[in-house]
């Protein structure tokens, strides 16, 4: 990789800006997936937990920042967000949330067929077919956005300080 004179890496192309029509198609698909999740009865906090867990697995700092803020606005607790990477080791998540998280992980790592089968069987016990489909679509969609942000190296910036916050 080439470097700038100051030693920093060159800025990557923001593929969402370079190809706005393709990105807008992704946004429209994301809106349809969100509506599908709502219609299936997958609540907003569960959707945000899925978005966060998949973003953790994919190492997408931009999406982690964005969806942490969205989860908090949706009523998610800081405690549950703090332990999300170890969700299996806590009693903080409901059976439905646990099934959704396992299914999202299995959707993200398509190389582990045993994990896919186990996740799918667990999901069938606690989620409807519409909810299973919605969870898979949410995981697929955030995974695509993760790739856009990771490949573009979208920056995570500190919040702006407002006069009221000073």
Please list the pLDDT of the chain residue by residue as tens digits (166 residues): 445 455 556 688 999 999 999 999 999 999 999 999 999 999 999 999 999 999 999 999 999 999 999 999 999 999 999 999 999 999 999 999 999 999 999 999 999 999 999 999 999 999 999 999 999 999 999 999 999 999 999 999 888 776 665 4
Domain residue spans of the chain:
30-155
| 3-state SS, one letter per residue, for the chain | CCCCCCCCCCCCCCHHHHCHHHHHHHHHHHHHHHHHHHHHCCCHHHHHHHHHHHHHHHCCHHHHHHHHHHHHHCCCCHHHHHCHHHHHHCCCCCHHHHHHHHHHHHHHCCCCHHHHHHHHHHHHHHCCHHHHHHHHHHHHHHHHHHHHHHHHCCCCCCCCCCHHHC
Q: Which fold has domain 30-155?
A: AhpD-like (1.20.1290)
């Amino acid at each position: 990789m080439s470097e700038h004179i100051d030693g920093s890496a060159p800025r990557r192309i923001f593929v969402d800006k370079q190809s706005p029509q393709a990105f807008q198609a992704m946004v429209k698909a994301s809106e349809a997936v969100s509506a599908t999740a709502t219609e299936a009865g997958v609540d907003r906090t569960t959707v945000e937990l899925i978005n966060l867990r998949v973003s953790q697995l994919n190492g997408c700092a931009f999406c982690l920042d964005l969806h942490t803020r969205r989860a908090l606005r949706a009523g998610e607790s800081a405690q549950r967000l703090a332990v999300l990477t170890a969700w299996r080791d806590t009693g903080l998540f409901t059976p439905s949330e646990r099934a959704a998280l396992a299914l999202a992980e299995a959707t993200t790592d398509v190389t582990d067929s045993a994990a896919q089968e186990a996740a799918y069987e667990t999901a069938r016990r606690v989620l409807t077919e519409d909810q299973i489909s919605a969870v898979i679509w949410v995981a697929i969609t955030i995974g695509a956005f993760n790739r856009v942000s990771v490949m573009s190296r979208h920056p995570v910036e500190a919040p702006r300080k407002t006069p009221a916050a000073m």
